[in-house]
Amino acid sequence: MLNLAPYLVVCLFMQFPPAPVPSLSVGEVIDRWDAGSRLIESYDLVIELVDVGYTVRLGGVERLTNPGETFPNLYFYSHIFKKDVKRFGEFRGDGAGQHGSELLFDGVTFTSAHLSQNNYSIQQNYNIFGSYAYEDYESTYRTVLGSSDRVVMSRERASRLLPREGSLYVVDVPEAKAGDFSNMAWRVWLDPSRNFMPVKWSEWLVQSGQRIRNCDCEVELREVASSVWAPVGAKRSVYNKNKKSPIFGKVGSDEFLKVDMAKSRFNIPIPDDRFVIKIPDGATVTDRIRNVVYTKGASDPDTYLSSLAAEGKKAVEGLPPGDRAPKDLIFVPDRPGFWTQGRAIAAGAVALVVALGAIAVRRMRGRAA
């Protein structure tokens, strides 16, 4: 007997085609991007950064190198920890591992340590974290310049979806009227098969209504844990943005980021003491939050910094928010808590009275003689 079941199934599918996959809105795509990037809860990464330049100056004119022209690439190495909103980075330059700087960012306070100069700076800073060659590992998939959130700004602006490129969602984000990086626009290509993480993005600066290409970034993703995709490599191409330059709009350098997977770990517990910069005795500390500069010594200056900061605020009243130039800081030595400014003045007054009394006694003795 002829089995008609397969033919009936084919006929049914011909009459009733599969239902189309529901399309996502731009907000839903950005939400998935947000969720995918948050799957990277913590990390302990060793990263190699290579800056390859293609421009030289000849007779004061910047130009691209000719075939055969070469000059040394810049190498940077960094060791970055992340836990919640806290990030700590140790950055080194050149192949010999020469020490560069330590940076700490906790979501509000930015601490910079320059051990070679024995100087430290503590300040509020929302826009910078990382090495000079590549601001931050997370700028490959979520942030702008290391600490301003590209995902959040993409949600707040009038973003739109462009036609999909294969399976990739393409989010176009315009410039804003105000706010952080309001003169910057970008486009992000998100892969739905890999937690909606970016596989590439492009960025423009907007000047007088004209978009000038700033950089492109290609991202290599890898599954670093079950269903968790993270960048393990990236290439960022930076364009010449000088309109008067003969190479305006050309790629002037490429920056390559590579995660050393043999020395790196994702989503692992990290102790809190990893996020502490230990300031050695004798170091000069510039505290731009409390407006004081002091020398770190055997006794901790925290017992009297609050009163100094209160006095320092009077010296900077009327300045625009965030404007804390070094000239507006109070310079003080590190000393035990007993020697507060008020007690020091009182001690000085007592010494002055004793000195005046001694002079008076001498004069009286001279008259008696």
Q: Give the per-residue pLDDT at 320.
A: 46
Q: Cα torsion for 200, 125, 263, 193, to the nearest 10°? A: -30
Both structure tokens of 185: 């626009």
**Which residues contact residue 106 at a Cβ distance below 8 angstroms, ignoring those fewer than 6 apart?**
85, 86, 87, 275
Token reading at 111: 């601490």
Angstrom distance (rounded) from CA 229 to CA 227: 6
Domains of the chain by range and CATH? 26-275 (2.50.20.10), 284-358 (no CATH)
What does the alpha-carbon distance between residue 12 and residue 19 come to, in Å, rounded to a whole number? Answer: 13
Q: Can you give the pLDDT at residue 272?
A: 93
Q: List the one residue out of 257, 267, 205 whose CA is nearest residue 236.
A: 257
Q: Write down the pLDDT at residue 252.
A: 93
> Which residues are bridge partners to 137 per DSSP?
none
**5-39: pLDDT as tens digits:** 544 444 444 454 544 445 899 999 999 999 999 99
Given the structure tokens 């702008």, which residue do they identify?
A: 144
Residue 5's contacts (CB-CB under 8 Å, 6 or more residues apart) are none
Let me know: does 285 contact 302? Beta carbons within 8 Å: no
Q: What local confidence, expressed as pLDDT, does residue 14 receive? A: 47
How far apart, in whole angstroms, are the C-alpha atoms of residue 202 and residue 214? 8
Q: What tokens were used for 269?
A: 């517990």
For the stretch 284-304, pLDDT in tens is 888 887 778 888 874 555 555
- The label of the residue with tokens 């892969």 reads 191
pTM for this predicted structure: 0.75
Counting as low any pLDDT under 50, the low residues of the chain are 6-14, 16, 18-21, 97, 298, 316, 318-320, 322-331, 333-347, 349-350, 367-369
CA angle in degrees (0–180, nearest 5) for 292-296-301: 60
DSSP 59: T
Q: Output the six-digit token pair for 45.
A: 């990464």
Measured CA to CA, the distance from residue 310 to residue 294 in angstroms comes to 15
